[in-house]
């Protein structure tokens, strides 16, 4: 079989296939037109927007944030070395820092615990190194002292500043993290 005959047979098959498609084309158009007439789109109506009602400014009678009286109060409070709550920090500032105080708590992962000589010891993973932590050790950057160790968590007492700038104590926990690599 020559190449020319093969090309003619292929062209004939393609033309026959196209002729078959044009016969069904009219049926397809009729069906599409019928579906367009029968089908109605479902559009949910939009809710009307709420009206904006401006409020009158009522802060005119309040103490001015930039008044000299207010600034004097703040300066008096902060005139000490660390402001209010200095009693909480005095002992913390006079002691030697422990190595795990250089890392934030979110960089630490509790990976287990064990009993060592009748005392609970927690295993902390920090920068791919494993550390043993006991009750009384310090962790984190907020003067966190370990107050309790259980099989599933470490309880800490931290000293942080509140919104007014006062130093306060708060409790924090580190939970056991399973499936850590």
Encode pLDDT of 56-72 as tens digits. 877 766 767 677 666 66
C-alpha to C-alpha distance for 143 and 52, rounded to whole angstroms: 48
pLDDT the model gives residue 26: 86
pLDDT exceeding 90 applies to what percent of the chain? 36
104 or 26: which leads in pLDDT = 104
Domain-embedded: residue 62: no
Domain-embedded: residue 1: yes
Of 37-41, 103-107, 109-113, the one with minimum mean pLDDT is 37-41
Q: Are residues 167 and 88 in the same domain?
A: yes
Of 73-87, 92-106, 115-129, the one with minimum mean pLDDT is 73-87
Whole-number Cα distances in Å, 176 to 88, 103, 138, 180: 29, 18, 18, 10
Q: Which of 145, 108, 104, 113 is nearest to 129 (CA)?
A: 108
Of 6-20, 95-109, 146-160, 162-176, the one with minimum mean pLDDT is 6-20
Q: For 76-113, give the DSSP string.
A: HHHTSSS-S-HHHHHHHHTSPPPGGGGS-GGGEEEEEE
Q: Are residues 162 and 98 in the same domain?
A: yes
Looking at the structure of the chain, the number of domains it has is 2
Measured CA angle at 171 (ends 148, 109), to 5 deg: 65
Domain-embedded: residue 153: yes
> φ and ψ at 52, to 5 degrees?
-85, 125
Of 110-114, 136-140, 175-179, the one with minimum mean pLDDT is 175-179
Domain-embedded: residue 50: no
pLDDT tens digit sequence for 2-60: 777 677 777 777 777 666 655 567 888 898 999 888 888 888 888 998 888 888 877 76
Domain-embedded: residue 66: no
Q: Which of 118, 106, 113 is nearest to 133 (CA)?
A: 113
pLDDT the model gives residue 24: 67
User: CATH no. for residue 91?
Assistant: 2.30.30.830
Tokens 């397809």, located at residue: 28
Name the band, by pLDDT with cuts 50, 70 and 90, for residue 122. very high
Q: Which domain holds residue 134?
A: 83-175
Q: Are residues 161 and 90 in the same domain?
A: yes
Domain-embedded: residue 76: no
C-alpha to C-alpha distance for 162 and 2, rounded to whole angstroms: 93
Domain-embedded: residue 92: yes
C-alpha to C-alpha distance for 107 and 32, rounded to whole angstroms: 62
pLDDT the model gives residue 138: 95
Q: Are residues 166 and 94 in the same domain?
A: yes
Beta bridge partners of 110: 124, 176
What 3-state DSSP class applies to 148?
Answer: strand
Has residue 131 got a pLDDT over 90?
Answer: yes
pLDDT the model gives residue 144: 93
Q: Are residues 163 and 102 in the same domain?
A: yes
Q: Are residues 89 and 166 in the same domain?
A: yes
149 or 78: which leads in pLDDT = 149
**Mean of the pLDDT values across residues 125-134?**
93
Q: Are residues 91 and 153 in the same domain?
A: yes
Domain-embedded: residue 29: yes
């Amino acid at each position: 079989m020559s190449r020319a005959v093969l090309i003619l047979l292929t062209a004939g098959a393609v033309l026959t296939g196209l002729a078959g498609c044009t016969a069904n084309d009219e049926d397809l158009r009729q069906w599409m037109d019928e579906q367009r007439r029968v089908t109605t789109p479902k559009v949910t109506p939009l809710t009307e927007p709420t009206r904006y009602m401006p409020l009158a400014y009522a802060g005119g009678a309040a103490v001015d944030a930039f008044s000299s009286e207010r600034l004097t109060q703040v300066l008096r409070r902060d005139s000490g070395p660390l402001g209010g709550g200095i009693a909480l920090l005095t002992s913390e500032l006079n002691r030697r820092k422990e190595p795990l105080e250089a890392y934030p708590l979110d960089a630490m992962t509790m990976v287990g615990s064990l009993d060592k000589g009748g005392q609970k010891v927690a295993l902390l993973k920090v920068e791919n190194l494993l550390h043993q932590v006991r009750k009384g050790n310090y962790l984190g950057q907020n003067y966190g002292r370990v107050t309790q160790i259980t099989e599933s968590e470490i309880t800490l007492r931290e000293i942080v500043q509140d919104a007014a700038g006062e130093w306060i104590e708060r409790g924090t926990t580190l939970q056991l993290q399973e499936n850590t690599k």
